[in-house]
Amino acid sequence: MKTYKIACIPGDGIGKEVIPAGQEVLQALAGGGAGFDFQFTSFGWGGDWYRAHGTMMPDDGLEQIRGMDAILFGSAGDPHIPDHITLWGLRLKICQGFDQYANVRPTRILPGIDAPLKRCGPADLDWVIVRENSEGEYAGVGGRAHQGHPIEVATDVSILTRAGVERIMRFAFRLAQSRPRKLLTVVTKSNAQRHGMVMWDEIALAVSKEFPDVRWDKELVDACTARMVNRPASLDTLVATNLHADILSDLAAALAGSLGIAPTGNVDPERRYPSMFEPIHGSAFDIMGKGLANPVGTFWSCVMLLEHLGEKEAAARLMQAIEEITADPKLHTGDLGGKAKTTEVTAAVIARLKNR
C-alpha cells in the first residue's frame, strides 16, 4: 500500500482548528480498500513560533518538509505581528522556496449556498483562476530610501520574466484544455502597464499556437471584475499576474458565497518539490478557539491535494460528500448564516464517507 507523507502546518488562528479537521477527513478516506494511507507530520510554525524564536519557521524549515508528498497549510496571520512578517516569513517562503509557481483557485457555487449574484445559477459560475505565484509585484524587489524624511521613497518593482510568463501561460492553457469548455481568459492591463503586461500579452499569443483546440480571449483586469459579476457564464479558466489574480480570486470567493469555502493549491507542476494546499481564508482571530470555523475550504483543499497525488477516486468521493453537507442548511457554519460547529460539519462529512 502506498503511504503518502503529508506535512500539516496549521499556522495561526482558525488554521489550528480547520487543519486537524482536514487531517481527520483525509484519514477517513485512507486505509483498507483505498490502496493508500497517510503519514501526517505536524509543524507548529507561525505566530506562536515567532514569539518563541523570532522567526515564523526554523532556518532549516524547508529542508524538514522537502521530502513530503504534499503540504496541508492553514493560515498565517496574527494581530500582534505585522502582516508582511507573517506572510513573507512562512507562506511565501514555502511558495518561493519550492518554486510553486502556479496558484490554482477553483470557484463554484456549491449546492445549498446562498451566493450574492441573484441572476446567476450554480451552472453559470464554474471557474478556475490560475495565479502566477512567483513574480510580479510579489517578487520582493524594491526598497526604501530616505526613511523618515520628507523625501522618503518606496518602490515595489513588478518583475515579469519571459521564462516565468511562458511557464504559467503553458500551465493555464493546459488546464483550460483539460476542462470541458476548453476556454481561457488571459487577464491583462497592457493599456496602462506598457512593458511587462505587453510582454505578457505577446507570450500569451505565442503559447496559444501550441493549443489550437483552446478558445481564448484577453480581458483588462478592471473590465474582468465587471464581467465576473455581469456575465459569469462567459468565463471558465482565467490566468492573471500575482497581484491581479490575488484580487480577482477574493472577488470570486465572495461571489461563490463565502471565504470559508474556497480552496487553493500552490503547485509545482514539474513536481520537483511538494505542492501546498490551503483554504483561502485567513486566520480569522475574531472566531478563533470557539469551534465556529467553516472547515469546507480546508476539505475542498484536501480534494485538490488528493487530485495532485493522483487519487482521483478518493478526491471525487470527498467532493461529493462536501456537496451533500453544503446542501443541508443545518450543517452551515456562521459565515453561511447557520449555527453548525466545525466538529459537526467534520463528523457529517466523515459519516458520509463511511456510508459509501
Of 219 and 246, CB closest to ligand ATP:
246
Give the residue, chosen from 20, 77, 136, 232, that forms a contact with ligand ATP under the rule CB under 6 A.
Answer: 77
Number of residues that bind ligand ATP (CB under 6 A): 18
Of 86 and 133, CB closest to ligand ATP:
86
Give me the least distance between CB of 253 and ligand ATP, in Å please: 9
Of 269 and 297, CB closest to ligand ATP:
297
The pairing of beta strand 102-108 with beta strand 263-267: antiparallel
Pick out residues in 280-319 that bind ligand ATP (CB under 6 A).
281-287, 293-294, 297
Please report whether residue 75 would count as binding ligand ATP according to CB under 6 A. yes
Query: Quick one: CA torsion of 156, 162, 164, 169, rounded to 10 degrees?
Result: 120
Please report whether residue 81 would count as binding ligand ATP according to CB under 6 A. no
Please report whether residue 47 would count as binding ligand ATP according to CB under 6 A. no
Pick out residues in 317-336 that bind ligand ATP (CB under 6 A).
333-335
Pick out residues in 260-279 that bind ligand ATP (CB under 6 A).
260
Sheet bearing 36-42, strands edge to edge: 36-42, 2-11, 70-75, 275-279, 263-267, 102-108, 126-132, 237-240, 183-188, 215-220
Give me the least distance between CB of 103 and ligand ATP, in Å please: 16
CA angle centred on 248, ends 7 and 93, rounded to 5°: 30
Nearest to 244 by CA among 193, 202, 184, 194: 193
Determine contact, residues 293/334, Cβ cutoff 8 Å: no
Of 237 and 258, CB closest to ligand ATP:
258
Beta-bridge partners for 153: 145
Nearest to 185 by CA among 250, 231, 243: 231
Cβ atoms within 10 Å of 5's Cβ, excluding its own:
14
Cβ atoms within 10 Å of 61's Cβ, excluding its own:
21
Pick out residues in 13-32 that bind ligand ATP (CB under 6 A).
14
Of 20 and 282, CB closest to ligand ATP:
282
Binding site for ligand ATP (CB under 6 A): 14, 75, 77, 259-260, 281-287, 293-294, 297, 333-335
